[in-house]
Structure formats: structure tokens, C-alpha cells
């Protein structure tokens, strides 16, 4: 059984820890939070034996097989380097870093220390998105030439995570890291992109709407639409809707987790609902359910069974898309990826 510690005991930590319990094979031995009372509350809830308000002391005193970093993005680089310096494998929440240079430095630190560095990028592990991927890879409707990925709603996300109000860069880092990674997962790597952003909510600092057009290396064009300012008939937070137009038909991920595959002989459809866990918040159902599958993949990688899908090195490509989108929006120009 692998021993691990959690750094950060905010809103998301309770579901991340519950996801680890669902997977099994790990033991949470210590938690850290700068506000000790929050760490103590999480420790009571999950029966954690050790509580710290000093991350260095935790990493020095505890015998750990890995550390799970669930703090605000601005602290990720510091904590990743602290763990790497002690030769402790790292799992870090998305977005990896507040800028590309910091993300690249984190990957380099772990590579130089010889420790695994994994990113908890769970969106691609959502059951309906995995089902969409299987349908696409089957080749039943040919190769995609155009696609749309949409995450648009008016969910009051700031109620549970008030710190998001003050982010100078908001939806592209918070949701864009998910959606752009999903685009890579489904359609391959990106060659060029163009982005426009907007701030509709006057009570926040960053952008709450972004549209990113991706030109994939395969020739497919993928339009990624993200918004927390959209009141729609079928917004259904936190669902992601996807449409791929292909050479012999189309595939759609529609409301209700329904996947529709349309070809010359008509449409067949099926429901790819996520598993239900008693610890998941119904408002985040499909997202929380994906935590367990993501953790299972990361755990297998930590044990040397396979290569994780979302390594730090792989996630650098997603981070380039996030920060390339900001550059495109700021300059009003197409961004060309560096092809790392």
C-alpha cells in the first residue's frame, strides 16, 4: 500500500481524497494546509493521523511514496520543487502553473531529480468523453474534419471557489486546461490556434468567456467554446458537449450523456452515464466520478505498471495551448505551436 500526503485542504481536496479511497491501494498519512483548522477538519473527516501547517516539516518527517498537491496554482511550482528536492514523486492539480516557463521548470526539476511528475487532469476520464473517443477511434464514420467542444453555462462557480473571482487569468486556466486537453485527447496535437476572450461578469477580474479555434496537425479544425456567462436551455453544468463531423458521418455527445453516431444507414445512440459514488456532489457528478478513474491510471503509473496518460511532460503541450491562447487574444494574431 502506497503512503501519500495531501498538500492543500480546500474545496477540491475532499473529493480527491474520496477518489483515492474509491481506488484503494493507498493510505493518506498526512495533510497540510496553511490554515491549520482546514487541515484538521479534513483529517477528522478522513481519519488522517498527522496534520501540518508547514509543508517542509511534513515532507521531511513523513515516509511518503508520493504527494498529491491540491493547492492554488500560484503555489504549485514551490511545492513541486520541494517534493522533487526530497526525491518524492508528485501528482499536481491542473492548471500546472500560472505561466509556461514555470510549468517547464517544474517538469525539469522532477526530471533532474529522477521522480515521476504526474498531472491530475481528470476531464478526459469522464465516462461519456471516453465513450465518444471509442466511437471516434472505431472508424465507423471515417476521419473527423471539423469538431466543436462546448462547455457553456451560468453555474455559480464562485460560490464554492471564491478565489476564482480574483484570478487575472480565469476561464482559460480553470476550464481551458480541461477543454484543450480534451481536444488533444480526441483529435491529436495542435499546429495553430486563434483565440478571443471576454469578461461578461463585472464582479470578477479575469475573462469568463473564451473561444479557441484549433488547427490540428491532422487537418481537423476544432472549435472550443467556454463560458460561465451563458444562460442556455441545455447548459447542464458540468457537462461538456462535443460534435465531430467526419468523412462518413458524425458523432455527437449530447445532453443526458447520450452519444449519437450517425452514418449512411441512420443514427444509433447510447447513454454513457458516469458511475455514481456516494461521496460525489450531485452538482459535479460527471466530474467527480472521473476522479477515481484518473487516480487509478496515475496509481498504476506510480507502481510502474504503465505510463500515465497525463504526465507533466505531456501536459506541457496543453499548457502551451492555454498560454498561447492568451497570447493570441492579446495580440489578435494566430499562435503557432512550438511542436515540443
Which pLDDT value is given to residue 340?
56
Residue 22 has pLDDT above 80, yes or no: yes
Residue 296 three-state SS: helix
Phi first, then psi: give them for residue 75, nearest 5 degrees: -95, -10
Residue 51 binned pLDDT confidence (cut-offs 50, 70, 90): very high
By the 8 A CB rule, do 195 and 210 touch? Answer: yes
CATH code for residues 123-273+310-336:
3.30.360.10
Which pLDDT value is given to residue 283?
85
One-character DSSP codes across 2-61? EEEEEE--STTHHHHHHHHHHH-SEEEEEEE-SSHHHHHHHHHHHT-SEEES-HHHHHHH
Which pLDDT value is given to residue 241?
97
d(CA 85, CA 79) in angstroms, rounded, equals: 10
Residue ranges of the chain assigned to CATH 3.40.50.720 = 2-120
Which pLDDT value is given to residue 236?
86
By the 8 A CB rule, do 259 and 252 touch? Answer: yes
131-151 residue pLDDT tens: 999 999 999 999 999 999 999
* pTM metric for this prediction: 0.95
By the 8 A CB rule, do 120 and 298 touch? Answer: yes
Of the candidates 166, 93, 80, the one whose C-alpha atom is nearest the C-alpha of residue 123 is: 93
Retrieve residue 321's grid coordinates: 495551448
By the 8 A CB rule, do 151 and 235 touch? Answer: no
Q: How far from 200 is each of 322, 326, 333, CA to CA, in Å? A: 20, 17, 22
The percentage of residues in the chain with a pLDDT greater than 70, rounded to a whole number, is: 99
Which pLDDT value is given to residue 233?
85
Rounded to the nearest integer, the mean pLDDT of the chain is 96
251-271 residue pLDDT tens: 999 999 999 999 999 999 999
Residue 235 binned pLDDT confidence (cut-offs 50, 70, 90): confident
Residue ranges of the chain assigned to CATH 3.30.360.10 = 123-273+310-336
d(CA 340, CA 331) in angstroms, rounded, equals: 22
Residue 332 three-state SS: coil
Residue 199 has pLDDT above 60, yes or no: yes
Retrieve residue 170's grid coordinates: 480565469
Of the candidates 234, 121, 254, 265, the one whose C-alpha atom is nearest the C-alpha of residue 179 is: 121
Mean pLDDT across 113-134: 98
Side-chain-facing half-sphere of 269: CA atoms under 13 Å: 13
Phi first, then psi: give them for residue 166, nearest 5 degrees: -95, 0
d(CA 27, CA 223) in angstroms, rounded, equals: 41
Could you tell me how far CA 301 lies from the centroid of its own chain? 17
The architecture (CATH level 2) of 2-120 comes to 3-Layer(aba) Sandwich (3.40)
Other beta carbons less than 10 A from residue 46's beta carbon: 16
288-328 residue pLDDT tens: 999 999 999 999 999 999 999 999 999 999 999 999 999 99
Residue 208 binned pLDDT confidence (cut-offs 50, 70, 90): very high
Which pLDDT value is given to residue 7?
98
Which pLDDT value is given to residue 159?
87
Amino acid at each position: 500500500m502506497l503512503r501519500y500526503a495531501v498538500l492543500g485542504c480546500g474545496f477540491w481536496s475532499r473529493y480527491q481524497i474520496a477518489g483515492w479511497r474509491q481506488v484503494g491501494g493507498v493510505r493518506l498519512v498526512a495533510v497540510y494546509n496553511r490554515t491549520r483548522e482546514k487541515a484538521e477538519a479534513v483529517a477528522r473527516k478522513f481519519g488522517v493521523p498527522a496534520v501540518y501547517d508547514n509543508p517542509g516539516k511534513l515532507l521531511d518527517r513523513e515516509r511518503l511514496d508520493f504527494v498529491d498537491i491540491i493547492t492554488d496554482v500560484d503555489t504549485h511550482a514551490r511545492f513541486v520543487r520541494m517534493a522533487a528536492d526530497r526525491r518524492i514523486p508528485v501528482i499536481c492539480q491542473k492548471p500546472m502553473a500560472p505561466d509556461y516557463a514555470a510549468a517547464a521548470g517544474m517538469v525539469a526539476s522532477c526530471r533532474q531529480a529522477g521522480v515521476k511528475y504526474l498531472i491530475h487532469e481528470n476531464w478526459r476520464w469522464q465516462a461519456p468523453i471516453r465513450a465518444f473517443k471509442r466511437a471516434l477511434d472505431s472508424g465507423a464514420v471515417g476521419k473527423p474534419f471539423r469538431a466543436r467542444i462546448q462547455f457553456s453555462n451560468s453555474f455559480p462557480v464562485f460560490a464554492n471557489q471564491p478565489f476564482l473571482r480574483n484570478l487575472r487569468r480565469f476561464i482559460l486556466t480553470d476550464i481551458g486546461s480541461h477543454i484543450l486537453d480534451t481536444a488533444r485527447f480526441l483529435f491529436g496535437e495542435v499546429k495553430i490556434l486563434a483565440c478571443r476572450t471576454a469578461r461578461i461578469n463585472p464582479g470578477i477580474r479575469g475573462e469568463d468567456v473564451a473561444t479557441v479555434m484549433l488547427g490540428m496537425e491532422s487537418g481537423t479544425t476544432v472549435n472550443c467554446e467556454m463560458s460561465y456567462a451563458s444562460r442556455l436551455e441545455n447548459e447542464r453544468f458540468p457537462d461538456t458537449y462535443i460534435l465531430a463531423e467526419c468523412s462518413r458521418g458524425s458523432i455527437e455527445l449530447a445532453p443526458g450523456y447520450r452519444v449519437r453516431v450517425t452514418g449512411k444507414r441512420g443514427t444509433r445512440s447510447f447513454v454513457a452515464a458516469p458511475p455514481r459514488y456516494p461521496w460525489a456532489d450531485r452538482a459535479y457528478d460527471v466530474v467527480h466520478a472521473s476522479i477515481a478513474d484518473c487516480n487509478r491510471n496515475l496509481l498504476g503509473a506510480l507502481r510502474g505498471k504503465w505510463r500515465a496518460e497525463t504526465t507533466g511532460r505531456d501536459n506541457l503541450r496543453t499548457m502551451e495551448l492555454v498560454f498561447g491562447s492568451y497570447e493570441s487574444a492579446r495580440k489578435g494574431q494566430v499562435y503557432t505551436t512550438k511542436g515540443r
